[in-house]
Copies of this chain bind each other. A is one copy, B any other.
Amino acid sequence: MRKVRYGGAISLDGYIAGPNGESDWIVTDPEIDFAAMLRQFDTLLVGRKTFAAMAAGGQGTVPGIETYVFSTTLRSEDCPGVTIVRERAGEFVRALRERPGKDIALFGGAGLFRTLLDAGQVDTVEVSLIPVLLGAGVSLMPPPYGAVRLRLTKQKVLATTGTLSLEYEIVRDKRDSAARRRSRSNG
């Protein structure tokens, strides 16, 4: 089955953006091959805020990639080239994964990550760990508190900048799955 892969650049203290969405602390390492990275995906999931930031930067759509924006307020006619999803994200993504295709990228949007994680619909966390401390910002994973175990599957040092390219699988233990099933049948 296609994987849902969450990722982006993070600081050593775990932020994906500054308190006002700042990204000027992100150093792009010349070794990162964004084109090769994009070829692994045909679908992109983003939250409303991340989409607004992408659109403001002139990158609201990515050629060859179908973009789904999770929002109950955006109107389809205002967002050409993307699909606005108003349904519950967990159920939507569960159905999407059952269709054939390449992997599904979940980019930015910590709130959407939390929702999909709690619904058991995220497979990996893949980060570029930038050598910087920020002190405040948008966290990689929003509350509530609770240990989500990961398994390190890949790590690479990008020598020019000291960025670490890290890939983790999300470990689903039996207790977690049972809790999710209960939460699904109740919800």
Instruction: Determine whether A81 belongs to the interface, using a CB cutoff of 8 Å to chain B.
Output: no
Contact of A13 among B19, B132, B139, B162 (CB under 8 A): B139
Instruction: Determine whether A146 belongs to the interface, using a CB cutoff of 8 Å to chain B.
Output: yes
Does B12 lie within 8 Å of A13, measured CB to CB? no
Q: State A47–B181 Cα separation when bound (angstroms).
A: 43
Does A162 lie within 8 Å of B157, measured CB to CB? no
Chain B neighbourhood of A24, CB < 8 A = 147
Instruction: Determine whether A135 belongs to the interface, using a CB cutoff of 8 Å to chain B.
Output: yes
Instruction: Determine whether A136 belongs to the interface, using a CB cutoff of 8 Å to chain B.
Output: yes
Instruction: Determine whether A148 belongs to the interface, using a CB cutoff of 8 Å to chain B.
Output: yes
Instruction: Determine whether A137 belongs to the interface, using a CB cutoff of 8 Å to chain B.
Output: yes
Does A146 lie within 8 Å of B134, measured CB to CB? yes
Chain B neighbourhood of A145, CB < 8 A = 18-19, 22, 134-137
Instruction: Determine whether A107 belongs to the interface, using a CB cutoff of 8 Å to chain B.
Output: no
Q: State A147–B114 Cα separation when bound (angstroms).
A: 26
Q: Considering only CB atoms, which chain B residue lies closest to A18 in the complex?
A: B145
Residues of A within 8 A of B (CB): 10-15, 18-19, 22, 24-25, 114, 125, 127, 131-137, 139-152, 155, 157, 162, 164, 166, 168
Q: List 22 A-B contacts (CB under 8 A).
A: A10-B14, A12-B166, A13-B14, A13-B140, A14-B140, A18-B145, A131-B151, A133-B140, A133-B150, A134-B145, A134-B146, A134-B147, A135-B141, A135-B143, A135-B148, A136-B143, A137-B145, A150-B162, A151-B162, A152-B157, A155-B157, A155-B164
